[in-house]
Structures are given as structure tokens and as C-alpha cells.
Amino acid sequence: MRTQVEVDKFPIRLARPDEVEHLNEVERGSAQLYRTVGYDDVAESDPLELSRLSAMQSRDHLWVITDTGDVPVGFLAVEIIDDLVHIEEISVRAEYTGKGLGSKLIEMVSRWAHAQGYPALTLSTFRSVPWNAPFYSRRGFCILSEGDLTPGLRAVLAHEAADGLDITERVCMRRELH
């Protein structure tokens, strides 16, 4: 079991412009874990476009979690969709998984979103991949039914389908912020 001290060794801060390109490497490395569950196409897919990451960084919607040398080992990027904070991407380098870094990023963005007056976080993810929907469920996210999807979340799923993801395996989730 990890201790809080271990997780505290990894600070979170807003990403700097010079780090954006490095974050693509973090995402590519993180995506390799999908090979272990038969999603080779996800492992081989392109990371977020640099222009999107740069735009998120310029709006202060991109955070990094760093090692003791201040080198990003993970990141969390958000967009505002339907007046909610949507987690667009969360990636942690494979060698740092299981240390609580993803959870720490989620808790940080939850506090930030709440302080900004947003009522909830949303995201889209794979239903059955252990570090996707089951992971988020343990962190207070609930799977949304088809009828609960906002227009923006429907657009997210449509975009994912157009990118070739198996939409039957995708779900949108929401976490209320109190």
C-alpha cells in the first residue's frame, strides 16, 4: 500500500509552454499499457495535437505532476464542455503507474473546478479497461446513461467514433463537486 509521503514526492503545477511537446511523449508511453488489454490500436494512436495542448496550456487548463527533478511524469488536460470541466486527457508514464499520481491529479482538478464554481467533472473512457471506468468509479465518477448525456458529451463520443474507437466500449462519466 502506498503512503501519502510517496505521493507527496510528486508535486502538481501548471504546465509551462516549453513542456507541451514533452507531454506527447508522456501520453505515447502511457498508451502502451493498452497493449496489455488488446487495444493495440489505442497504443498506436496519435496523442493530443500539440496545438490543442498549447491552447489548454495558455488557458491554464493543463497541469503536470513532476518527479523530484521537476520533470513531468504525468499530466491532466481539461476543456470546458457544456459548462462542466471535462477531463480531456490524463496520462502518467508507465513506470509511475500505481503510485497514486492519477488520483492526485483528479483530486487537484476537482478542487480547482469546485473553486471556479463548476458543479461537476466529466470524462469519456473505456468501460472495461481496469484503469479506466473502474478506476474512475472508485474516485466518485458515475457512468451516465444515454439520456443523461449532454450535447457536448454526445459530440465527444461522435468524435471518438470517427477516430475509430469502439463506441460500444466507451462511456461518459460524471463526478459531482460539492
Average pLDDT over all residues of the chain: 93
Instruction: Name the grid cell of 82.
Output: 457544456
What is the distance between the alpha carbons of residues 94 and 20, in angstroms, rounded to a whole number? 18
Structural domain tally of the chain? 1
Instruction: Name the grid cell of 2.
Output: 502506498
Query: Does pTM surpass 0.85?
Result: yes
Instruction: Name the grid cell of 10.
Output: 510528486
Q: What CATH number is associated with residue 104?
A: 3.40.630.30
Q: Are 64 and 23 in contact (CB under 8 A)?
A: yes
Is residue 1 predicted with pLDDT exceeding 80? no
Determine the longest span between alpha carbons in the chain, in angstroms. Answer: 46
pLDDT tens-digit series, residues 102-140: 999 999 999 999 999 999 999 999 999 999 999 999 999
Q: What is the enclosing helix (H) or strand (E) of 153?
A: helix 151-162
Q: Are 125 and 133 in contact (CB under 8 A)?
A: yes
Long-range contacts, stretch 163-166, CB < 8 angstroms, 24+ apart = 163/45, 164/41, 165/42
Which residues form the domain of 82? 4-176
Mean pLDDT of 37-61: 93
Mean pLDDT of 80-109: 95
Can you point out the beta strands (E) in 10-118?
Answer: 12-14, 62-66, 72-81, 84-92
